[in-house]
């Protein structure tokens, strides 16, 4: 297929750089524009960006001239790694101008008509884009820790129902961006507070696991209690979960549900999809960030120490790569899903006069379609 030209918003930041790494030689998308703050505007990307990735900066991006958020963009699809302080209004402006914004930012995740998507779990929520009033659209992926916790409980919710979840996170410093947490605060230390994280984990899974009802999501009825900690690990968010089920299940039933879980990205064999979205590890001391975070190219949720809980029903330890599956990789997988399901088509304008809900509308923007 012909590649679609895309732009990276917040291209000089940690998530923006990860977008560029993961999109290098991608079969669907080609980075043609980079956008950052006005401090970086009009400079070459190689000059404006303090590159912190494990591979050299791709030459195809290094010589791109940086634009700022007031510039007109030619790309139809925009991958957003913008800071939340500017993402809200900037993403709305781009969507109003007809762009498709695939966002990792938090600002629009809980908007009524904005889908909050993990494509293994709720790809049907993408239908909400036909309720948006933008010429284009905004699609979001969840908070990094939310993704891993929700991936772990989604199979259990489907088969047994989940009544309550207690989660404690041990979050890597790369999740704080660059330069991140001061070394004198984090080295040899644990910081038991990350602003806004607990609220995200307690609310976002309810939307993701909810049911699409005409023009909104009916949230799942799960009680969630979260505590979040920053720890001196470079990459990889570890979480401990205790789950109370609505229906009784044996330990082997829980393991089978997790081990057999797969979704639409695996059926479609999308480029960024892990072969197994959940890997159940049997060793008693796994998963570990230093040893396991890059399994399945950083796109899987790793589950270990699965056992009974003396307070709730079952408990486990989970791990995920926070800047890959927890951020840029999640947004790219959402975009791949939209391409293969016909929501995005070759970067061309495709008018749509009606959607599944029967409301008459013609999209004047780029690349919105539904087969």
Torsion of CA 125, 129, 131, 136, to 10 degrees: 170
Residue 159 and residue 330: Cα distance in Å, rounded?
24
Q: Terminal CA-to-CA distance of the chain, rounded, Å?
A: 17
Q: Spell out the residues 6+ positions from residue 293 whose beta carbon is closer than 8 angstroms to its own.
A: 235, 236, 287, 302, 319, 320, 321
> Is 144 marked active-site?
yes
DSSP letters, 179-229, are S-S-HHHHTT--B---TTHHHHHHHHHHHHTSEEETTEEE----EEEEEEE
> Is 125 marked active-site?
no
Q: Helix, strand, or coil here: 347?
A: coil
How far is residue 154 from each of residues 94, 202, 278, 289, measured CA to CA in Å? 32, 15, 11, 22
Residue 173 and residue 191: Cα distance in Å, rounded?
11
Question: In the numeric block, which tokens belong to residue 344?
Answer: 């995005």
| Cα angle 128, 132, 138; round to 5 | 80
Question: In the numeric block, which tokens belong to residue 308?
Answer: 């009974």
Q: Which of 99, 144, 228, 321 is catalytic?
A: 144
104, 327 contact by CB (below 8 A): yes
> 310: burial class by Cβ within 10 Å (0-12, 13-18, 19+)?
exposed
Residue 319 and residue 286: Cα distance in Å, rounded?
9
Residue 338 and residue 154: Cα distance in Å, rounded?
21
Q: Which of 237, 309, 356, 360 is catalytic?
A: 237
b/e per residue 158-171 (b: at least 16 CB within 10 A): ebbebbebbbebbb
Question: In the numeric block, which tokens belong to residue 271?
Answer: 């480029």
Catalytically active residues, by annotation? 144, 237
């Amino acid at each position: 297929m012909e590649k679609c030209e895309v732009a990276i918003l917040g291209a000089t930041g940690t998530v923006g750089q990860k977008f560029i790494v993961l999109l290098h030689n991608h079969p669907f998308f080609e980075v043609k524009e980079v956008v950052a703050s006005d401090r970086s505007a009009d400079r070459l990307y190689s000059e404006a960006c303090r590159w912190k990735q494990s591979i050299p900066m791709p030459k195809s991006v290094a010589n791109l001239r940086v634009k700022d958020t007031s510039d007109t963009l030619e790309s139809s699809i925009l991958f957003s790694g913008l800071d939340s302080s500017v993402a809200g209004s900037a993403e709305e402006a781009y969507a109003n101008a007809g762009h498709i914004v695939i966002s990792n930012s938090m600002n629009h995740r809980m908007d009524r008509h904005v889908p909050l998507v993990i494509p293994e779990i709720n790809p049907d929520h993408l239908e909400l884009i036909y309720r948006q009033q933008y010429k284009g659209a905004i699609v979001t992926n969840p908070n990094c820790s939310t993704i891993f916790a929700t991936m772990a409980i989604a199979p259990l919710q489907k088969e047994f129902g989940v009544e309550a979840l207690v989660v404690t996170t041990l979050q890597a410093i790369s999740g704080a961006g660059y330069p991140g947490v001061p070394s004198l605060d984090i080295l040899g230390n644990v910081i038991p507070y990350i602003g806004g994280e607990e609220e995200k984990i307690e609310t976002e899974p309810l939307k993701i696991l909810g049911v699409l009802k005409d023009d909104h999501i009916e949230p799942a009825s799960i009680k969630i209690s979260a505590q979040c900690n920053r720890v001196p690990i470079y990459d990889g968010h570890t979480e401990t979960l205790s789950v109370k089920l609505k229906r009784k299940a044996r330990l082997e039933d829980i393991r089978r549900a997790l081990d057999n879980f797969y979704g639409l990205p695996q059926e479609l064999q999308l480029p960024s999809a892990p072969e197994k979205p959940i890997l159940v590890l049997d060793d008693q001391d796994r998963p570990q960030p230093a040893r396991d975070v890059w399994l399945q190219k950083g796109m899987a949720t790793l589950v270990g120490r699965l056992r009974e809980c003396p307070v709730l029903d079952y408990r486990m330890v989970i791990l995920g790569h926070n800047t890959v599956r927890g951020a840029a990789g999640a947004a790219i997988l959402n975009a791949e899903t939209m391409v293969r399901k016909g929501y995005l088509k070759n970067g061309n304008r495709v008018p749509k006069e009606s959607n599944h809900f029967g409301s008459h509308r013609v999209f004047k923007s780029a690349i919105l379609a539904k087969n």
